[in-house]
Amino acid sequence: MNVLLFARARDLMGKDCVEISLPTNATVAELRRALGEAFPALRQLLAHSAIAVGEDYAKDDVIIPPNVDAAVVPPVSGG
């Protein structure tokens, strides 16, 4: 699955997306775990980031449909 990276996640990885394999019917929580294991630089940030599935933010218990992109959206501050 393609996972888009925004803000600090993009900065940490040095690119705007990563690929990761997940089992069928994986949840957002499983995506967080898999990303943290595959990309340790993201591990701490993932706990505080929103995850979008398709075009909507998703809670950890949401099942990710096949052939849908996800995104890591870290908290941002501004003024």
- pLDDT of 79 > 60? The answer is no
CATH superfamily placement of domain 2-73: Beta-grasp domain (3.10.20.30)
Query: What integer pLDDT is reported at residue 7 of this predicted model?
Result: 95
Q: What is the pLDDT of residue 76?
A: 80
| CA dist., res. 4 & res. 48, Å (int) | 16
Q: Average pLDDT, whole number, for the chain?
A: 95
Q: Give Cα separations from 24 to 48, 59, 66 (angstroms).
A: 25, 18, 7
Q: What is the mean pLDDT of residues 51-76?
A: 95
Cα gap 6→8, rounded to integer Å: 6
Helical ranges in the chain per DSSP H: 7-13, 28-38, 43-46
Per-domain residue ranges for the chain? Answer: 2-73
Which two three-digit tokens encode residue 2? Answer: 């393609």
* pLDDT beyond 60 at 26: yes
The pLDDT tens digits for 28-50 are 999 999 999 999 999 999 999 99
